[in-house]
Each structure stands twice: as C-alpha cells, then as structure tokens.
C-alpha cells in the first residue's frame, strides 16, 4: 500500500531512478537518491565506484545503462600499459573518460562530445579530474560543423551529419587533436560515435600511424561500410584484433616496414580479417 501511494506521488522518471538505485545499492541509498534528485534539480547522484567521486545521471534515461556498463561492468577495462594520451570520442556524459582517468592518472584524457546536453553533464562529471580535457565537438574527418540529426533518441544515440552552412556544432579530426594537444602518439583511441566513424576511418591515413590501440563500436546499421572502412584503414598494418562487449579492439598496431609511406605503395598484411560484429545501439 505504502509503495503504491509513493509511486503515485513521485515523478515517473524519479521512480525509475530510485528503483534502479535500490536494485544496485539497497533501500536506504535509494531513499537518499530521491533526496539528491530534489537537491540537484532532477539530476541523480550515483557512487563513482573505483573512480572515487560521485557522478551525475539523468533519471530514467540510458545514462543509467552507461553507468552500469562502464563503472560497474568495467566495459573498457583494457590493459594499456602506461599510456600518456587517450582520446575518448563520443564521450557521452564522461563516464568512460573518468574510468580511464582513474585507472591511468598519469594520462591526459581528451573527452569529445557533440550533443550539448550530454556535454554539459560531462563537464559537471569530470570537474574533479584535471587530466580530463573536455572538447565540445564531434569527431569527424576534418574541422567543420555538424548538426544533430534527431533529438528524439536515447541519450547515447545522438547521430550527426555534416553542416556545410558554417554553423552548428564544431567538428574535429584526429590529426587536429594531435596538433592541438602537441602530441605525436595516441595510446588509446576509443570511438563510439553512432556511425560517424565511417567519415573518420575513410580519412585515416594522416593519423593512423600515431595510434597504438583502437577501441571502436561499429555501427554498420546506421552507416553501411563502417566495418569495411576500419579494416581498409589497417590494410598496411599488423595488429591483433579482439572483441570486448560491443567493441572491436585493435592492439599492437604498427605499420609494416614494407608499407611505410616513404617507401611507396605497401603490401597487404597478415592481420585478422573483417570480423567485427554489426553492433549498434
């Protein structure tokens, strides 16, 4: 009876958040989560787990799914050795960036997110991490402008297209990131950009040799050819390929000596064939 009364008197999205919270952290923390929703104008607060600092989530949204995947299930728990520079493209609300920044406190993590509401929460979430550098932009083949194609989607599913009007959200290429941060190597490049990886991968030649590890979710359903574009960009390289959840993981990436640009056209390499699943959200 009490539960029925409470459910009727509490906003639906708040109730969903409290139910989610109770299943993971217990009844009393769920009650406190409701108080925090009221205190923070409808933004939920969840434990940072191994990251330390609490994080902010929008109640009743896929923010909760991302929290589970990244901070509870540790979807990106990959051994990167001792990285110094990590790029998180499609950073959403910053949870993957926080995971990397906590696991590798000596690394600079560049968190790139185009969608304004996601980016605003990202900035709020990463404020305690000086090694995370937020960038309000969409990863693309070059600098320019993008527009959000549809607002009526989950918070992790925003897709973009090029805006040739000169307005809209800035876009940035990977080679631009290398120049802007004055680095020569990206130790880990995480890409989850809802199909925009096709434009990025089709223009990989200027930057591919600067990357050691790629962690990418491919969205062939949105943009056919993403998987083919990935393996085409790696055709002159040796590497190891594996799957981690929905992500294709490319490690130990290095150009074959016979295929270096200063030696002319290169030969193909014995690397895993295109076996990435058509994973998409």
Each residue's pLDDT tens digit, 48-67:
877 779 999 999 899 999 99
CA separation for the pair 68, 62 (Å, rounded): 10
217 shares a domain with 105: yes
pLDDT above 90: residue 5: no
Average pLDDT over residues 71-80: 94
Average pLDDT over residues 177-201: 95
Which one of 42, 66, 90 terminates a domain? 66
pLDDT above 50: residue 276: no
State residue 225's pLDDT score.
95
- Residue 169: name the closest of 197, 195, 203, 143 by CA: 143
- Residue 97: name the closest of 245, 143, 246, 118 by CA: 118
Q: pLDDT confidence of 8, banded at 50, 70, 90?
A: low
Which one of 11, 32, 66 terminates a domain? 66
Count the Cβ atoms, other than its own, within 10 Å of residue 270: 7
- Residue 204: name the closest of 272, 136, 255, 138 by CA: 255
User: Has residue 97 been placed in a domain?
Assistant: yes
Which helix H or strand E contains 31, and what residues bound it? helix 27-39
User: Concatenated DSSP letters for 220-264?
Assistant: TTTSTTHHHHHHHHTTTEEEEEEEETTEEEEEEEEE-GGG-GGG-
pLDDT above 90: residue 123: yes
**Which stretch of 2-11, 32-41, 123-132, 244-253 has the lowest confidence by average pLDDT?**
2-11
113 shares a domain with 50: no
Q: For the segment 165-179, what is each residue's pLDDT rounded down to a tens digit? A: 777 899 999 999 999
pLDDT above 50: residue 264: no
On the 0-12 / 13-18 / 19+ scale of CB atoms within 10 A, 23 is exposed
Share of the chain above pLDDT 90, in %: 73
55 shares a domain with 109: no
Which helix H or strand E contains 10, and what residues bound it? none
The whole domain housing 25 covers: 1-66
State residue 160's pLDDT score.
74
Q: pLDDT confidence of 147, banded at 50, 70, 90?
A: confident
On the 0-12 / 13-18 / 19+ scale of CB atoms within 10 A, 81 is exposed
Share of the chain above pLDDT 70, in %: 84
Under 8 Å between Cβ of 138 and 169: yes
pLDDT above 80: residue 267: no
User: Has residue 129 been placed in a domain?
Assistant: yes
User: Has residue 227 been placed in a domain?
Assistant: yes
pLDDT above 60: residue 212: yes
């Amino acid at each position: 009876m009490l539960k029925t009364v409470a459910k009727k008197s509490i906003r639906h999205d708040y109730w969903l958040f409290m139910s989610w919270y109770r299943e993971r952290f217990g009844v009393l923390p769920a009650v406190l989560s409701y108080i925090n929703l009221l205190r923070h104008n409808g933004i939920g607060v969840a434990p940072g787990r191994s990251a330390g600092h609490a994080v902010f989530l929008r109640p009743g949204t896929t923010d909760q799914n991302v929290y589970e995947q990244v901070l509870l299930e540790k979807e990106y728990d990959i051994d990167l050795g001792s990285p110094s520079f990590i790029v998180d493209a499609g950073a959403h609300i910053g949870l993957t960036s926080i995971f990397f920044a906590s696991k590798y406190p000596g690394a600079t993590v560049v968190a790139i997110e185009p969608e304004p509401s996601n980016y605003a929460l990202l900035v709020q979430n990463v404020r305690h991490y000086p090694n995370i550098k937020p960038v309000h932009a969409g990863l693309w083949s070059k600098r320019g402008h993008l527009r959000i194609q549809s607002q009526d989607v989950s918070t992790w599913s925003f897709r973009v297209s090029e805006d040739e009007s000169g307005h809209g959200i800035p876009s940035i290429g990977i080679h631009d990131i290398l120049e802007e941060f004055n680095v020569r190597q990206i130790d880990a490049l995480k890409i989850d950009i809802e199909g925009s990886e096709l434009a990025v991968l089709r223009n990989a030649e200027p930057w591919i040799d600067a990357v050691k590890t790629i962690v990418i979710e491919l969205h062939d359903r949105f943009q056919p050819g993403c998987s083919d574009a990935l393996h085409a960009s790696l055709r002159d390289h040796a590497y190891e390929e594996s799957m981690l959840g929905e992500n294709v993981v490319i490690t130990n990436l290095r150009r074959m000596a016979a295929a270096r640009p200063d030696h002319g056209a290169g030969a193909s390499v014995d690397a895993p064939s295109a076996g990435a699943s058509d994973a998409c959200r």
